Amino acid sequence: AWAEKTVDVPVPMGDPGAVKWKELASLVLTCLDAGEDCAYAVEGDPLLYGSYIHLAQALSELKPGTGVEVVSGIPSFVAACGRAGMPLAVGKEGLAVLTGPLGLEEMEEACRSFAAVAMLKVSGSMAALREFLAEHGEELSWLCVENCTCEDEVMCMDAGRLEEREWGYFTVCVVRRNRYGRP
């Protein structure tokens, strides 16, 4: 039999610097040194803009060579395309992954340079996104998803609906500029 101990580590959205990562790493090391297993659960993939990166760095600094196993997750932009049946990248197409806040110029440049662009955490960029889609939406396939795969998921593929609500922190938008769009 094994005992389960849970430690809640609130990570303020958009501010991983607010967490005392070395203190958390010390707690993990205390458990590991006592022969216990530890896990740090995240949404999406831990190595794609994930808070886990900061914990891994702190563990490495405090005790180099600490063995960890990373279990990859499914990033929100991949899950969003899967739920919509929209190809993410085809053949030799390029894909850009950006994280917000983003400006109109950044969105336009990425879409000029890549066939598909995944924009993560775009809630703070909605004004620029609305402007971008108003100017370029006819030549793109796109979707916007908040809380992808969660009970409160909201998916939008209609520019008019983007303005109907305030979008949360975990909002992703994927745009494509070629013939492979939504089915």
Convert the pLDDT of each residue in 66-77 to its tens digit: 888 899 999 999
Q: Which amino acid is at 15?
A: D
Residue 1: per-residue pLDDT: 46
- CA torsion through residues 138, 140, 143, 144, sign: negative
State the DSSP string of the chain: ------------TT-GGGS-HHHHHHHHHHHHHTT-------SS-TTSS-THHHHHHHHHHHSTT----------HHHHHHHHHT--S--TT--EEEEESS--HHHHHHHHHH-SEEEEESGGGGHHHHHHHHHHHGGG-EEEEEESTTSTT-EEE--HHHHTTS---SSEEEEEE-SS----
Residue 13: per-residue pLDDT: 67
Residue 183: per-residue pLDDT: 45
Tell me the pairing of strands 116-120 and 95-99. Answer: parallel
Digit-by-digit pLDDT tens for the chain (183 residues) are 455 777 777 777 666 666 788 888 898 898 888 888 888 888 888 999 888 899 999 999 999 998 888 999 999 999 999 999 999 998 899 999 999 899 999 999 999 999 999 999 999 999 999 999 999 888 888 999 999 999 999 999 988 888 888 999 899 999 998 665 554
Residue 86: per-residue pLDDT: 92
Q: How far apart are CA 39 and CA 6, in angstroms?
A: 9
Among 109, 126, 44, 117, CA closest to 86: 117
